A = this chain, B = another copy of it.
Amino acid sequence: MSALVPPRSWVTSANGHLDFALQNLPFGIFRRAASNEAPRVGVAIGDAILDVAACLAAGLFDEQSELTRQAARTCASPALNALMALGADARRALRDAVMALLHEDCAVHRQQIAQHALVPQQDAELFLPAQVGDYTDFYASVHHATNVGAMFRPDNPLLPNYKWVPIGYHGRASSLVVSGTPVRRPNGQRKGPTDDVPTVGPSRSLDYELELGAFVGTGNALGEPIPMASAESHLWGLCLLNDWSARDLQAWEYQPLGPFLAKNFASTISPWVVTLEALAPFRAPLAPRASGDPEPLPYLTDARDATQGGFALTVEVWLRTPRMRDEQAPPVRISQGSALDLYWSFAQMLAHHASSGCNLRPGDLLGSGTISGATPDSRGCLLELTRRGAEPLSLPNGETRGFLLDGDEITMTAYAERDGVGRIGFGRCVGEVRAAPALAGT
């Protein structure tokens, strides 16, 4: 018998693809670039995108279940919300049908698909995958919370609630942008420890934050909590999230109600939503809690979640400065961590979120918070990597960075690989920093 091998596609670029092999099949929203086409649902396969609505129109789902066809009928819309609202069974049904169409064993329709329903990614424009009604950002890495706390509150780095409460806060939905959108440096108030009064101007401490985002599938009614036992069934898929942060604004504004302008100028997400099915082979327990830490309270406890609540994803941040671009040098990796280095699972975050009765809606986005590990090279933001700018990064070309300068480009990636399963990746989450706009009165 042959060893287990990943499935192969007749879309040859998919086989061995670092991100979008047949076993991944992430969903997104696309159209041909510079066209008047309506944005619609696509599935990434190798270097191409499968147009799901075009497959439906061509009758390629005629033999499928009603659930599959119902799911496919949502794919003419310019956001994944309607598909997400159908829940996990519909996602699985559609994914299975798409996988069958793209599998190397599918001989019948491949000509038709290749001609009418495959768009090269290089010819496509990608959009936000969902219309995000509410965006919530958590703070689920205990290493991040400890490192940051030590800088903002040296006497009190990790607050007493951290190991009991999956700390989170409401973020800004309007300023979520898709990978590739330039990010303007924000203006704002900042007041250094030796300043008498605050000043206003472009942030001097612009940072990125490496996060995963989880999209909500089916929601819950207001006033109806989601128990841990079913929390996972409300998760639809994951993306990369860069929660850009202006540290000088944050330090001055964040008490007592939390970060506001320091975060709401932009948050970038990757265009492809990786489904829980693609991630299933990479489920694992989160890094163990330190000895002496409390067990999660019962409403945050689930046996399955305890053993496979995490995602064994490698997450990376890459920096390219304007000089590197001028010199045609490639981006340099500045951190590498693991998505298992979280103290709370997404299921716990979701169950906690709904425990108050708060209603989650299809397409809502939950951010993990900055993913930092125990080692210095796994710190997920410059605030931690450079100790608030005091120990700047040294780049191979001799440049240094304490925080981001205009023109700097940050790229985030995530991937997982296993023998027999193959590799899946998230694609890229990219943003380039642009100069701050003029602000009247400054």
Within the assembled complex, what's the spacing in Å between the Cα atoms of A260 and B252? 20
Q: Provided the pairs A174-B134, A175-B359, A222-B266 are in contact, do residues A253 and B165 lie with their beta carbons within 8 angstroms?
A: yes
Which interface residue of A189, A246, A434, A442 has the most chain B CB atoms within 10 A? A189
Give the residues in chain B near A356, CB-CB below 8 Å. 186-188, 246, 249, 261-262, 264-265
Within the assembled complex, what's the spacing in Å between the Cα atoms of A223 and B246? 14
Give the residues in chain B near A436, CB-CB below 8 Å. 357
- A441: Cβ under 8 A from any B Cβ: yes
Within the assembled complex, what's the spacing in Å between the Cα atoms of A164 and B439? 17
Inter-subunit contact B174/A359 (CB<8 Å): yes
- A172: Cβ under 8 A from any B Cβ: yes
Inter-subunit contact A255/B174 (CB<8 Å): no
A256 nearest in chain B by CB position = B159
Within the assembled complex, what's the spacing in Å between the Cα atoms of A256 and B137? 13
CB distance from A167 to the nearest CB of B (A): 6
Inter-subunit contact B177/A222 (CB<8 Å): yes
Q: Provided the pairs A188-B356, A359-B175 are in contact, do residues A257 and B258 lie with their beta carbons within 8 angstroms?
A: yes
Within the assembled complex, what's the spacing in Å between the Cα atoms of A254 and B225? 20
Within the assembled complex, what's the spacing in Å between the Cα atoms of A253 and B249? 22
A interface residues, Cβ below 8 angstroms from B: 133-134, 139, 149, 152-153, 159, 161, 164-165, 167-175, 177, 184, 186-189, 191, 197-198, 200, 222-225, 227-229, 246, 249, 252-262, 264-266, 294, 297-301, 352-353, 355-361, 364, 434, 436-442
What are some 22 contacts across the A-B interface (CB < 8 A)? A134-B174, A161-B189, A164-B189, A169-B260, A170-B171, A170-B172, A173-B173, A174-B222, A175-B357, A184-B222, A186-B356, A197-B294, A200-B355, A223-B265, A225-B437, A225-B438, A225-B440, A246-B356, A249-B356, A300-B441, A355-B439, A357-B437
Identify 5 new A-B residue pairs, CB closer than 8 A, beyond the known A153-B256, A261-B353.
A175-B358, A187-B299, A198-B297, A257-B258, A265-B356
